[in-house]
Amino acid sequence: AQTVTQSQPEMSVQEAETVTLSCTYDTSESDYYLFWYKQPPSRQMILVIRQEAYKQQNATENRFSVNFQKAAKSFSLKISDSQLGDAAMYFCAYRSLDTGRRALTFGSGTRLQVQP
Amino acid sequence: DTGVSQDPRHKITKRGQNVTFRCDPISEHNRLYWYRQTLGQGPEFLTYFQNEAQLEKSRLLSDRFSAERPKGSFSTLEIQRTEQGDSAMYLCASSLQSRDRELEQYFGPGTRLTVT
């Protein structure tokens, strides 16, 4: 079974600064997807960024980018030019390509605070 | 709004009572997932449907839990004889599988269950 570990329960960043959230995972599969989801307080979870394991190029979405290290099974999220609206819980998630296992496996989350 | 909706948003019940939650996915989505999220943790998979077929159930889904998706549209999750340990946020997500590729899961706002 796959596991996802987020070792930083809380992080804080100054507005306009850069912050990196860490995620490691364990799997025996060679192809899979990795995701970062954002869950603002009392609001629904939304997808921030997605990475396909077979792609060596790191995914980027505007101010959000990932550092995907497949051999190390590491998948960190970098948020540049942090904004107050980035304050939320961030969850790293894994999804198998196996047709019988399509559910997401989530880490325990990192709470990001953005200081003005 | 054509996102995933869930009803009710909050439910308080006494131990031993039965509760039922409803999820309406995005209309063209053929996959529907149920997750449970306890305070300070990431969501955990419960079960998922492709159209009306329930394809996978987690070991977390005890025999007190049952889910249905009649006609492949909305889904219901029923918990019988609720226990205090059932208190959690119940999240629904939907996605579209197309051409052997599943696109991202979109989450609803969740139903927060409190068992007293």
Are B44 and B58 in contact, with CB atoms under 8 Å apart? yes
- Tell me which chain A residues have a C-beta less than 8 angstroms from the C-beta of B107: 37, 44-46
Q: For A25-84, how does the pLDDT look when each residue is reduced to its tens digit (9 = 90+)?
A: 999 998 899 999 999 987 889 999 999 998 889 999 999 999 999 999 999 999 999 999
> How many Å lie between the alpha carbon of A107 and the closest alpha carbon of chain B?
6
Q: What is the pLDDT of residue A78?
A: 98
Residue of higher predicted confidence among B56 and A5:
A5
- Tell me which chain B residues have a C-beta less than 8 angstroms from the C-beta of A59: none
Torsion of CA A20, A24, A30, A31, to 10 degrees: -50
Burial B91-105 (b: 16+ CB within 10 A, else e): bbbbbbeeeeebebb
Q: For A3-29, how does the pLDDT look when each residue is reduced to its tens digit (9 = 90+)?
A: 999 999 999 999 999 999 999 999 999
Are B57 and B68 in contact, with CB atoms under 8 Å apart? no
Planar angle of CA A92, A9, A57, nearest 5 degrees: 30
Query: pLDDT tier at A109 (50, 70, 90 boundaries)?
Result: very high
Amino acid at B108: G
For chain B, list residues whose CB is within 8 angstroms of any CB belonging to chain A: 3-4, 31, 33, 35, 40-45, 48, 55-56, 58, 91, 93, 102, 104-110
CA B101 to chain centre: 22
CA distances from A89 to A76, A85, B42 (A): 15, 12, 9
| Interface A-B: count of C-beta contacts within 8 A | 51
Residue A100, pLDDT > 70, answer no
Q: What is the pLDDT of residue B116?
A: 96
